[in-house]
Amino acid sequence: IAEREGKVVYTDTDKILLSVNGDTLSIPLVLYQRSNKNTCMHQKPRVQRGKYIKKGQIVADGAATVGGELSLGKNVLVAYMPWEGYNFEDAVLISERLVYEDIYTS
């Protein structure tokens, strides 16, 4: 999130540079860092060079955001019921389409 308003003078995978009243403000981006929970943190710049941004505007997307909005997955219709004995106690059956179309792969 932009701390100040200004013009984007440079954008790359690791930083965004803003021109603010003659000064240059650097916004560092996280590039494939490991978190304490053994997950990957990565930010992608959302702004383009030459654009003017306002204070509080989203300048980068993370793993759980797309276009500045929270995006945690896809909705799927689910039914919890026995099915010919193949889902005893802890098994879950899913549609082959979800597998073949890579709906839930990361």
Residue with tokens 């019921």: 81
Count the domains in the chain: 1
Span 47-66, pLDDT tens digits: 999 999 999 999 999 888 88
- Judge whether 12 lies within some domain: yes
Asked if the structure places residue 105 within a domain, the reply is no
Domain assignment present for residue 22? The answer is yes
pTM of this prediction?
0.64
- 8-state DSSP, 99: H
Structure confidence at residue 18 (pLDDT): 93
Q: What is the CATH number of the domain that holds 34?
A: 2.40.50.100
Give the range of the structural domain holding residue 67, as residue numbers without chain letter.
Answer: 6-100
What H or E segment, with its residue span, contains residue 12?
Answer: none
Q: Hey, how many other C-beta atoms are within 10 angstroms of the C-beta on 87? A: 13
